């Protein structure tokens, strides 16, 4: 395994779980910031993690996010100050909920407190001006008066896209006419049957009465 941006360093969709097997670099009492560009659909960071390459004493680590200042990390945008490293080697993680913008340059940062035994993080050759390091067990703002180097580092940020918006209430059917869901609901309702018209009972005239009426009409002519 090696350090690969988008897999076990920088912005990733899934947190890494295996040893990067890269070069060791002393990390305790230092702060590292790694530069990467957020993906085109990124809206939030949900986790920050880093790889501890050896077993050392317990210590606290901080995670943060910075905006760029020229070629280095600048203003701190977010910070989570209390996270336990523990003593074992392996990936160390912190859960966050930080809103970010898509296709934007950020510096993903981690700092580590002092350990009696030197704690190592993993480094490898990488893009130009991609890593900043300062002597600090916390994450200051701005990051500090430093220069950047050309390295990858075992620091990642899990990102997620914005939630899919709900389906619009109006849908266009094949006819091209705008069709609303409430219309479909109305169409589905059974139409009431028309009420029958009331029957009118017309009396039937007897032969005798009809004859008398005919005589009366003849006299009037």
Tens digit of pLDDT at every position of the chain (221 positions): 699 999 999 999 999 999 999 999 999 999 999 999 999 999 999 999 999 999 999 999 999 999 999 999 999 999 999 999 999 999 999 999 999 999 999 999 999 999 999 999 999 999 999 999 999 999 999 999 788 999 999 999 999 999 887 765 555 455 455 555 545 555 556 667 777 766 655 555 555 556 666 666 666 65
User: Would you state the pLDDT for residue 194?
Assistant: 72
User: Would you state the pLDDT for residue 209?
Assistant: 57
CB distance 133 to 32 below 8 Å: yes
Task: Read off the tokens for 67.
Answer: 């905006």
User: Would you state the pLDDT for residue 47?
Assistant: 98
- Would you kindly state where each structural domain of the chain is located, as residue ranges? 10-161
Task: Read off the tokens for 62.
Answer: 């901080």
User: Would you state the pLDDT for residue 169?
Assistant: 53
CATH of 10-161, one of 3.40.50, 2.20.200, 2.60.120, 3.30.160: 2.60.120
CB distance 35 to 106 below 8 Å: yes
């Amino acid at each position: 395994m090696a350090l690969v941006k988008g897999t076990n360093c920088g912005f990733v969709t899934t947190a890494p779980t295996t040893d990067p097997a890269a070069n060791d670099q002393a990390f305790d009492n230092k702060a590292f910031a790694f530069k990467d560009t957020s993906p085109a659909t990124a809206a939030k960071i949900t986790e920050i993690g880093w790889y501890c390459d050896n077993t050392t004493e317990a210590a606290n680590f901080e995670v943060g996010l910075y905006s760029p200042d020229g070629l280095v990390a600048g203003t701190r945008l977010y910070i989570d100050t209390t996270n336990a490293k523990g003593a074992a080697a392996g990936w160390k993680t912190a859960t966050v909920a930080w809103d970010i913008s898509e296709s934007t340059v950020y510096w993903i940062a981690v700092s580590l407190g002092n350990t009696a035994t030197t704690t190592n993080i993993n480094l490898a050759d990488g893009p130009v001006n991609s890593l900043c390091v300062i002597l600090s067990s916390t994450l200051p703002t701005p990051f500090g008066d430093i220069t950047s180097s050309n390295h990858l580092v075992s620091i990642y940020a899990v990102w997620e896209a914005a939630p899919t918006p709900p389906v619009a209430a109006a849908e266009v059917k094949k006819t091209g006419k705008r069709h609303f869901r409430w219309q479909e609901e109305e169409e589905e309702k059974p139409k009431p049957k028309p009420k029958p018209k009331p029957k009118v009972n017309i009396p039937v005239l007897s032969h005798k009465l009809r004859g008398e009426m005919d005589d009366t009409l003849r006299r009037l002519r």
